Amino acid sequence: MSRRRWTTFLLLSAALMGLSVGCGTAAEPANSSAYNAESNEGAAGSETDKDNETEAAGGTGETVETVESKEAEDVKETEREDMQDTQKDGIAEAIKQETAEVELETDDSQDAGETEGEPTAEISELIPTKYSSRRFKQCGTIEHITYPSYDYFGDGSALEKPANVYLPYGYDETKQYNVLYLMHGIGGDENEWGMVGNTSQIKMIMDNLIFNGDIEPFIVVTPNGRSGADFANKSSDYNSFYEFGKELRNDLIPYIESHYATYGKAGEADYDMKADREHRAMAGLSMGGMQTINIGMCECLDIIGWFGAFSAAPTSYPAADVVKKIDEQFPDEEIKYFYNICGTNDTIAYQSSSTAAKKLPQLSDRFQDGENYMWQELKGGHDFHIWYLGFYNFAQIVFE
C-alpha cells in the first residue's frame, strides 16, 4: 500500500470516528552548524565539546545529538503505534456497522400482488414491496463457482477463488448478457450480499425487476475482493483489496466470459476486452465502493463502462484525483454512468464518499449530473438499508 493511501486511510478513519491522532512533530536535529563553527577553533576545543556533550548525555558515551535522535525515533514509533491503533479501531467499527443485522424497510404502497407484471420501478428512497418480495415462479438461479487466480498480494502462486453468479430467469446460452461485478465490504466476502440461495435480497430484486419488465435481464457476479492467498480470512491484511484489479482483468472477467453467455469474449485469442466495455459494470459497498472507484474506474475504465459506489470507503480517491487519473490514462473512454449513494448519518463513509464523488460534475465535463452521473444521499447509516436500496436503484440505471 502506498504511503499516501496509508496516511489518507489513517487520518480519515480518525476524523470520521471522532478519535484523536497525535499531531506532534519529531524533535529537531542537533544544531550541527554551531558545532562545526566551534570545531574550527582547534582539536582541543573539539574534544572538550565532545566531553561536555557526553557529560550532558549522562556520561553514557553518547552525544546529545545521538540521544535526541533516539528520542525522535521513539516519538515517531509512538505515533505509528497510535495511528495503527486508531486504524484498527476504525476498521473494527466499520465491520461492526457493516455486519449488523437490519430489517429492510420497504414501500408497501406497491404490493407484489396488485401490480404484478407491470413496470413501475423508479429511483426512490424505499424499495417497493413488489420488488423486494420472493417470487416462486419465473425466478432466476444462483450458481456457486470457483475460478483460477493468483496470489497477487503475495508470491503470485496459483489458487482457486470463489464467487456467486446470478443467472436471470430464462437464461439462454444462445443469447448475450451484460454482467455486473458486485463487490463486498471490508468485513465480508463473496457471500456478504447474500447471494447464496432463494431468499437472497439481490435475487428477489432482480427477479422482480425482470419479471415486471423494468430491466433487461443481466448477470450478477459477487466475487471475493481480497486478491491474496488468505482471502478466506476476513481478518487478513486489507491491503489485498487494492490488488483486485489484476485479478478482475486477468482472471475473473475471462472466466465469466468463457463460461457464460455474455457479450464479452475475454479469453479468446485476439479478443480485445475494450470492445465490449459497455456490457460490463462494477459496483460495491464500502470497501467494494472504494474498489469500484479506485480500481474499476481509475484502472479498468478501458474495459468497464458502468459504475456504482454505495458508501465508498475512506481510502477512495478524492474527486480531483479521480479526474486526473482517468484523464491521463483513459482520455477517450466514455463513462456510461456513475451512480453514488450514501447515508447522511454514516460516520464511517459519508465524508469520504462525498469527497470522492460529490463534486465530480464540477471538476470534469465527463460527469454530467442527470445524464451519466447521480449522487443520492438520504438519512441512513453504514448498513444494508442504504446498500440494498443502492442496488435496486443502480439495477434500473445500469446497461440502459
Residue of higher predicted confidence among 245 and 24: 245
Q: Do 126 and 155 fall into the same domain? A: yes
Per-residue pLDDT reduced to its tens digit, 184-209: 999 999 999 999 999 999 999 999 99
Q: In the 8-state DSSP scheme, what is residue 23?
A: -
- Final residue before a domain boundary, out of 78, 98, 118: 98
Q: Do 171 and 257 fall into the same domain? A: yes
Per-residue pLDDT reduced to its tens digit, 222-267: 999 999 999 999 989 999 999 999 999 999 999 999 999 999 999 8
- CA–CA dist 119, 106 (Å, integer): 17
Which among 223, 367, 214 has a CA at the least distance from the CA of 283? 223
Is residue 304 a contact partner of residue 296, using CB atoms and an 8 Å limit?
A: yes
Per-residue pLDDT reduced to its tens digit, 75-126: 666 656 554 555 555 577 778 778 777 767 676 666 555 456 899 999 999 9
Q: Do 125 and 83 fall into the same domain? A: no
Q: Do 168 and 206 fall into the same domain? A: yes
Q: Do 167 and 52 fall into the same domain? A: no
Mean pLDDT to the nearest integer, 300-326: 97
Q: Do 233 and 171 fall into the same domain? A: yes
Question: Which grid coordinates are listed for 314?
Answer: 475512506
Q: State the chain's mean pLDDT as an integer.
A: 84
- Final residue before a domain boundary, out of 48, 82, 98: 98
Nearest-10 crossing angle of helices 350-357, 319-329: 40
- CA–CA dist 86, 304 (Å, integer): 35
Number of separate domains in the chain: 2
Q: Do 78 and 146 fall into the same domain? A: no
Q: Do 290 and 346 fall into the same domain? A: yes
- CA–CA dist 82, 86 (Å, integer): 6
Q: State whether residue 283 is helix, strand or coil.
A: strand
pTM above 0.75, yes or no: yes
Start-to-end Cα distance in the chain? 36
Mean pLDDT to the nearest integer, 56-79: 66
What pLDDT does residue 324 have?
98
Sign of CA dihedral 163, 179, 395, 119: negative
- Final residue before a domain boundary, out of 98, 120, 142: 98
Q: In the 8-state DSSP scheme, what is residue 243?
A: G
Q: Do 80 and 111 fall into the same domain? A: no
Q: What is the CATH number of the domain that holds 321?
A: 3.40.50.1820
pLDDT above 90 covers a percentage of the chain that reads 70
Q: Residue 319 belongs to what domain range?
A: 106-397
Q: Do 84 and 175 fall into the same domain? A: no
Q: Do 94 and 140 fall into the same domain? A: no
Q: Do 271 and 175 fall into the same domain? A: yes
Quick one: 155 exposed, middle or buried, by C-beta within 10 A (0-12, 13-18, 19+)? exposed
Beta bridge partners of 343: 378
